[in-house]
Amino acid sequence: MEQEKEATQKPVLSGLRVRNPTPSTIEYTVTTRPERWSRRFTTALVLKAIVVGIILFFILLKQDYCDNGLQDGLRNSILNLKPDINPKHLDLLRGRVHWYYLALLGFSGIWIASLRGYTEESLLVLRGLGVQVTTSSSSYFVKANTRFIPTSTIQDIFIHEGFVGFEVRFYMAIVVKDESEVVVVFPKLLPRREILENVWRGSRSLYEPEAKTQ
Amino acid sequence: MSYNIAMVSDFFFPQPGGVESHIYQVSSKLVDRGHKVVIITHSYGDRTGVRYLANGIKVYYVPFWVVYRESALPTVFSFFPILRQIVLRERIDIVHGHGSLSAFCQEGLLHAKTMGLKTCFTDHSLFGFADAASILTNKLLKFTLSDVDHVICVSHTCKENTVLRAALDPFTVSAIPNALVSKDFRPADSPPPTSTITIVVISRLFPNKGCDLLVATIPRICAQHENVRFIIGGSGPKAIDLEQMIEKNVLQDRVEMLGPIRHEDVRNVMIRGQIYLHASLTEAFGTVIVEAASCGLYVVCTQVGGIPEVLPSEMTIFAKPEEDDIFAATSRAIHAIKSGTVRPEMFHDQIRQMYSWTDVAERTEKVYDGIMRLRSSRLIDRLKRYYGCGVWAGKLFVLCAVIDYLLMMFLEFWWPRRNIDVARDWPRKRVVRKESPSQTDAEGPEERNGWVSDMQDQE
């Protein structure tokens, strides 16, 4: 890792990204985030746009209805575009949709639009200082779950196997002094063994005191 | 040729017992012979997950419900997803089940067959044919065993029993006895004086271990012979009967009850006596009498189950499982010891040559060699075999097998093989194929395994 000092993201293994911002820090990121303009990315974007569009449409329609006396901009433009629509149906729809339904719809729309749709988990190793584990939240509005563990409290970092539902998975865990439970690194994604071994080697060389003096 | 073997059973450490130590010892010796062994059992209390034992044996404690006496809930299919994961990640070739009362073992064998693996089954106990529980177990056993590649029994009596219960072809059944770590059962350096004869009984105090016979015989022996003492080790529901017997006959100074004995203390108790009395009513093998003989005790035992095959006749006096005969046999043993016509301290060397886990592992390996040569059967052949199991049961079994097959297809789709990580192997041992007899006898320093000391009781 020492030779590759450029702070660029480079995929070592599929699903793992390694960043080396400074010679003494190294960040491992495991993510399910789709590549930009990949099919999944575009689909999610289009779906979110459709949801937002529908909500905007209803709000504008309702807005029209309330300011009935002034102008019927949206109503008239719809009727102009599609003259075969019965205007009574449109008015009925406007009357039916109450404001509180709209509010509910609006909030759920915002919630859906704010969903991240992927999980990103990272381990930042600061040589001699400690490690920071981060798990992204499900929404853009909620802060990521971050924890810093100083080197002095780290007793061990290990890879082991365990039962998760109907599966047996590898996991990497940090043993913290005076805590009964270990801290699992990448707890949501539980990446594959290859990735974990790679991360383990990197984290090990950095937190051990003999590595510090090199 | 080395294999990846999965031992599947409900019974494993930390629970003490004969099946448990058998699995551990055989696994340990198979690892010594260059194979890879994983043990799959259900979780015991907070002991869940994956653990390693000495010698690199990996144990999967699968979280599962326990219904009765450490047996898991017998669900037909729920174990399949986990078993498949373990089999794929450990690249298992052979699934070896232990103990016919183990739901895990029965399920594991069925699923392993569905996945096209080789299967082997070891039966550790004898069963009746008459009572309801036996009939049910036998039917179930017939189902799983009708498709198992090979069956191992701990004695020839056990083999006959299993062949009858599961309607098997006797050619697919082998008898491989248990063994013992003879180093742990050496006779006393100085044998106890024969002025007082001490008779040792170590057994779990359950009705099937013949405690009622002991209750009836001990007062008669004490009345007949002046300087005879008893030491009884073990615990169980029949302990209270024995205590009543002691009080009723005022034998407090002649019969000593020790309570539960840890397995590593068994030898220390054994060497206090000259005669070992075993009054069990049913026994597939009876490891304890081998241990007693190895400790240099003259063995008086009932002629039931697999016991007559276990020891050569000069080490034992057999009795019918009835009061008078046990009394007569014990009296004969006391006379023999007093007159010095038997030399029990010589037994140890004979036992050491007769029983060793290395030998058991070698023979088990031969069984594996045999089943690996077999062609794996097609689904339709398996279904034909299941169909032959009975009028109604046959159809039910076929249905189960078909559902199992469909379940495998579903699992293959839901958790594809390529997404399952293969676990790293423990570094394998250098394979020592040809062993000189002296090497087999002198067991290495790794023989003594510290964690047998977990055992609380003596099987």
Whether the CB-CB separation of A106 and A55 falls below 8 Å is answered with yes
pLDDT of residue B458: 37
pLDDT of residue A68: 56
Q: Give residue A130's region: left, alpha or beta (phi > 0; psi -120 to 50).
A: left
Looking at per-residue pLDDT, the higher value among A11 and B365 belongs to B365
| pLDDT of B135 higher than 90 | no
Adjacent-strand bridge partners of A171: A160
pLDDT of residue B456: 35
* Interface check B219 vs A, CB under 8 A: no
Q: What is the DSSP letter of B44?
A: B
| pLDDT of B58 higher than 70 | yes
Adjacent-strand bridge partners of B40: B8, B60
How confident is the prediction for chain B on average, in pLDDT? 85
Residue ranges matching CATH 2.30.29 in chain A:
10-33+118-212
pLDDT of residue B217: 93
- Would the CB atoms of A163 and B49 count as touching at under 8 Å? yes
> How many Å from the N-terminal Cα to the C-terminal Cα in chain B?
35
| pLDDT of B455 higher than 60 | no
For residue A162, list chain B residues with Cβ-Cβ distance below 8 A. 49-50
Tokens 């590595």 appear where?
A: A211
- Would the CB atoms of B85 and A168 count as touching at under 8 Å? yes
State the Cα–Cα distance between residues A190 and A170, nearest whole angstrom: 7
pLDDT of residue B245: 93
Maximum CA pair distance of chain B? 76
Whether the CB-CB separation of B8 and B28 falls below 8 Å is answered with no
How is B230-241 classified by DSSP, letter by letter? EEEE--STTHHH
Best of A14, A158, A161 to substitute, by most chain B Cβ atoms within 10 angstroms, is A161
What number of residues does chain A have?
214
- Would the CB atoms of B60 and A168 count as touching at under 8 Å? yes
Nearest to A22 by CA among A39, A4, A46: A4
Average pLDDT over residues B202-225: 90
* φ and ψ at residue B56, rounded to 5 degrees: 75, 25
- Top-confidence range, A140-154, B69-83, B85-99, B133-147: B85-99
| pLDDT of B454 higher than 50 | no
A145: distance to nearest CA of chain B, Å? 27
Nearest to B386 by CA among B374, B399, B404: B399
| pLDDT of A15 higher than 90 | no
- Would the CB atoms of A162 and B60 count as touching at under 8 Å? no
* φ and ψ at residue A89, rounded to 5 degrees: -60, -40
| pLDDT of B50 higher than 90 | yes
Query: Cβ of A176: how many Cβ atoms within 10 Å?
Result: 17
Query: Cβ of B385: how many Cβ atoms within 10 Å?
Result: 17
pLDDT of residue B240: 92
pLDDT of residue B117: 92
**Packed helices A73-81 and A39-66: angle between N→C axes, nearest 10 degrees:** 120
- ipTM, 2 dp: 0.76
| pLDDT of A204 higher than 70 | yes
Angle, alpha carbons B227-B458-B9 (nearest 5°): 155
Residue ranges matching CATH 3.40.50.2000 in chain B:
4-179+357-453, 183-354
For residue A163, list chain B residues with Cβ-Cβ distance below 8 A. 48-49, 62-63, 82
Domain A10-33+118-212 has CATH 2.30.29: yes
pLDDT, tens digit, 9 for 90 and up, residues B62-120: 987 665 555 556 677 888 999 999 999 999 999 999 988 888 898 899 999 999 999 99
Whether the CB-CB separation of B129 and B135 falls below 8 Å is answered with yes
- Would the CB atoms of B81 and A163 count as touching at under 8 Å? no
| pLDDT of B329 higher than 60 | yes
Average pLDDT over residues A22-49: 86
Whether the CB-CB separation of B140 and B106 falls below 8 Å is answered with yes
pLDDT of residue B376: 79
State the Cα–Cα distance between residues B372 and B366, nearest whole angstrom: 10
Q: What percent of chain A has pLDDT over 90?
A: 21
pLDDT of residue B434: 53
Q: What is the DSSP letter of B281?
A: S
pLDDT, tens digit, 9 for 90 and up, residues A40-99: 888 888 988 888 888 888 777 776 666 555 556 666 777 777 777 777 777 777 777 777
- Would the CB atoms of A168 and B415 count as touching at under 8 Å? no
Domain B183-354 has CATH 3.40.50.2000: yes
Superfamily holding B4-179+357-453: Glycogen Phosphorylase B; (3.40.50.2000)
pLDDT, tens digit, 9 for 90 and up, residues B351-379: 998 899 999 999 999 999 999 998 878 88
| pLDDT of B255 higher than 90 | yes
Q: What is the DSSP letter of B345?
A: G
* Interface check B336 vs A, CB under 8 A: no
Tokens, residue B157: 């009596």
* Interface check A160 vs B, CB under 8 A: yes
Nearest to B97 by CA among B163, B17, B41: B41
Kindly provide the residue ranges of all beta strands, DSSP E only, lying in chain A, ordered along the sequence: 10-13, 16-19, 25-31, 120-126, 130-135, 145-150, 154-164, 167-176, 183-185
Looking at per-residue pLDDT, the higher value among A97 and B254 belongs to B254
Looking at per-residue pLDDT, the higher value among B449 and B57 belongs to B57
Give the β-pairing of B36-42 and B57-62: parallel
State the Cα–Cα distance between residues A123 and A18, nearest whole angstrom: 10
- Would the CB atoms of A193 and B81 count as touching at under 8 Å? no
Radius of gyration of chain B (CA): 23
Q: What is the DSSP letter of B406?
A: H
Best of B38, B47, B50 to substitute, by most chain A Cβ atoms within 10 angstroms, is B50
What type of residue is A152? S
pLDDT of residue B410: 95
B69: distance to nearest CA of chain A, Å? 24
pLDDT, tens digit, 9 for 90 and up, residues B152-190: 999 998 899 889 888 888 999 999 998 988 888 999 888
Tokens, residue B369: 């060699």
Question: In sequence order, which ranges of B167-248 are alpha helices (DSSP H)?
Answer: 211-224, 239-248
State the Cα–Cα distance between residues B83 and B67, nearest whole angstrom: 20
Adjacent-strand bridge partners of B369: none
Average pLDDT over residues B115-126: 90
| pLDDT of A128 higher than 50 | yes
State the Cα–Cα distance between residues B166 and B333, nearest whole angstrom: 39
* Interface check A193 vs B, CB under 8 A: yes
Best of A168, A189, A192 to substitute, by most chain B Cβ atoms within 10 angstroms, is A168
- Would the CB atoms of B50 and A170 count as touching at under 8 Å? no
* Interface check A166 vs B, CB under 8 A: yes
Whether the CB-CB separation of A135 and A144 falls below 8 Å is answered with yes
Q: How far is CA B305 from the centre of its chain?
A: 14
State the Cα–Cα distance between residues A8 and A17, nearest whole angstrom: 10
pLDDT of residue A3: 43
pLDDT, tens digit, 9 for 90 and up, residues B274-313: 999 999 888 888 888 999 999 999 999 999 888 888 888 8
Query: Cβ of B37: how many Cβ atoms within 10 Å?
Result: 28
